[in-house]
Structure 1
Amino acid sequence: MHLLDSLGAHSAISVSALSLYLKEMLEINDILQNIWVHGEVSNCKTYPSGHCYFTLKEGDSQLPCVFFKSARLRTSAPTLRDGMALAVNGRVAFYERDGKLQIYVDEVIPLGEGALFQRYELLKAQLEAEGLFASERKRPLPVQPAVIGIVTSLQAAALRDMLRTLRNRYPLVQVILAPALVQGVEAPASIAAALDLLNEHGEADVVIVGRGGGSIEELWAFNEEVVARAIARSRIPVISGVGHETDFTIADFVADHRASTPTAAATAAVPDIADWQSTLLQKQQVLTDLMTARIEDLQDQVAYALRDLEHVSPQNTVIKHKQQVDEYTDRLHTYMQHLLSLRAERLRSASLQLHSLSPLLTIARGYAVVRQHSDQTVVTSVQQVQAGDVLTIQVQDGLIPVEVVRP
């Protein structure tokens, strides 16, 4: 009796017990332990470890598959990619941790291309023949866009990534969001309508059409012809940023610029203001260096001019003449001193000579000098006086006034 057979209507078992039961049920089924299944590969990823994980799809049904490195090397399996039609051999098991059924693949046989891949290649060839992929029709992206249009889902994580990137790189830009479905049957028409709406609005300088990564089915809206035609007729340059680096959609080929991710699309759409700041700082330094060099050159020129001016300046002549004046003054002073000394000596000699001839010496020996009182004329003869004249007799110690009685 199995575990579930013993349970009553109102009994319950743990998740672990049920998971173990499902695992055991699959392991005892001989058909499921060695089974071939065919379908189309989707969401294929090979990790650095060498293990390959993919989904095998057919219509609306899908099965996760695990193809370990050891099995791949043992069977020399081809490199798997989305869109391949495969027949896989392996065992069906229940992965308890994730609670999912998956096939552990032992061998793969390629069956050609899947239906989706064939549709992809057919439309790609058609649009390429019409010239929609031609490089000459690709328009350059604006260097400094003022307005960015974005076509994506409002709920997409890619939208937050793009807005954050635009804000960090170029906060001057404005964003116009044209919401659209990016997955499902209605997504292609929604994306095309959003693109047309941005063109009618006319303010965007560049448009980003994007969404994050996913399986080929989840990205399929960007492989539809209606989206490709909308991008091709857009008057505004279009950047396609869909999925991951390895994902290529029809939209990528038609767009004016293909970015590997939505974040890369936002990066391509705007310049990095940090680069501008760095460039400005570099130019500021260059300008500062030029101005410093120019000022130093002018200072040198001023110094040379001052030296030249000093050579021709009248101040030197004035200083020279001042020195000459000082020298002449000293010489004149010396000459005048000498002249005064000479004249003084001569005066002294004349004074001595005059003194030796002075009548005072005669008077001092008992002689007197008689003068007219009126005009001090020296009287040397009686003929010079008359009765009544007043005379002055000078003796050694003074003057004696006298009156002539008779001559």
Structure 2
Amino acid sequence: MIREPEREVWSVTELVQYLYDILDLDENLKKIWVEGEITNFSQHSKSRHMYFTLKDEQTAIDAVMFAGNNRRLRFTPKNGDRVLVRGYVSIYMKDGHLQLYVQDMRLSGIGDLYVAFQRLKEQLQAEGLFDVPKKKLPSFPRRVGVITSASGAAVRDIIVTMRRRLPMTPILLYPVSVQGEKAAKEIAEAIDHMNRLMEVDVLIVGRGGGSLEELWAFNEEIVARSIFRSVIPVVSAVGHETDVTISDFVADARAATPTAAAEMVVPHIAELHDRLTHLYKRLLYAQTSLMNRLKERLHKNVDRPIFTNPNARLYQYAQHVDSLEIRLQNAMGKLIEKKDRQLEQRVYRLTAFHPQRRVEKEAERLELLKRDANWHLRNLLKDKAKQYQHLLAKLDSLSPLKVMLRGYSLVYRHDGKTLVKSYRQAAPGDLIHVRLAEGQLKCQVWKSEETENE
């Protein structure tokens, strides 16, 4: 009989758990966008969870949207709605059923805008624009800036609310388009302009309610970055309470409506009155408490010796002053003696090392050096004069003129330049010049011969 090879056998739970883990580890399935048509829609009466099927022309997948997510929807889903949903895919462990867990839902007609909204939101959040510390709104703004349409309901609501709450607060309106192609640029430029003027303490930026397309200017990156770099605190007041824009995340505060924004930036005059009354009562109480404490301290101190016998304390102080005066005089005397000794020492040093004294010593030394130099110079000149006379006499004795005076002469060839030193330089008949001690002779050679001592 042929036996089947042994193999691992999984339980149903193990298989479902394995599939669950695979889906849980797949990053592509953790945050996906799916578009389809709703069918089999139902909502639990107690939990308010929504259960439905999302289908297209070829297939379908079951989906669930829990109450914590679906209560933020701006519409009520129904069968036949074509929607764009965001969520993740997982296995329902109880029955191994594959489900799409929906976290957000939009009607498909505005799907592209919503995807753009989510992408920009994630980008700015990654850059940290939502995480920076928010600027504190001033308690009593001197002037409030409002950036909105000049003809919309939002500006009327803001003005009416502020006039009701704190009538004396000035409003600086910067009118802009709040929808359309130019709206985002105008809103951003208005925020930047208000920051250059620096004439308001807080800014309200917003408009009344509307569709996602109508509110889209407040989802543009240029507006978000202008709000982020504003040094003036910005309150975002766009649409109704359910409307959420990128501006809401970047602003320093979000108001559900323009009316709520006005209530947020200025206190009610009645609240101010109550607060001032409360502060006045606290101040009065503090003043009364302080006076009572001072009276109590005065009553305690009135029996002290300083008040019953003030002269005793004065005598003690006078004695102490006398003691200090004696100590001061002694200390001053010692200090003066010490300074006198130091002064004498410095005078001595100054005298010994005074520049005039040094100049005199150097002058004496210079005079000695001059006398020594003159003596050595005179002796040197005498020696040089003797050497000169000796050399002059020796040179004179060796002078050709001296020799010629003793009868010697110089013989030159007929050119008068070439000195004749040997009989071989003159042949019979040659003309020669003979230079004597006095004058010269022009002669002709008659005979040329060698002398005996050659």
TM-score w.r.t. the length of structure 1 is: 0.46
TM-score w.r.t. the length of structure 2 is: 0.41
Return the structure number with greater strand share: 1
Relative contact order, CA 8 A, sep 6+: which one is greater? Answer: 1
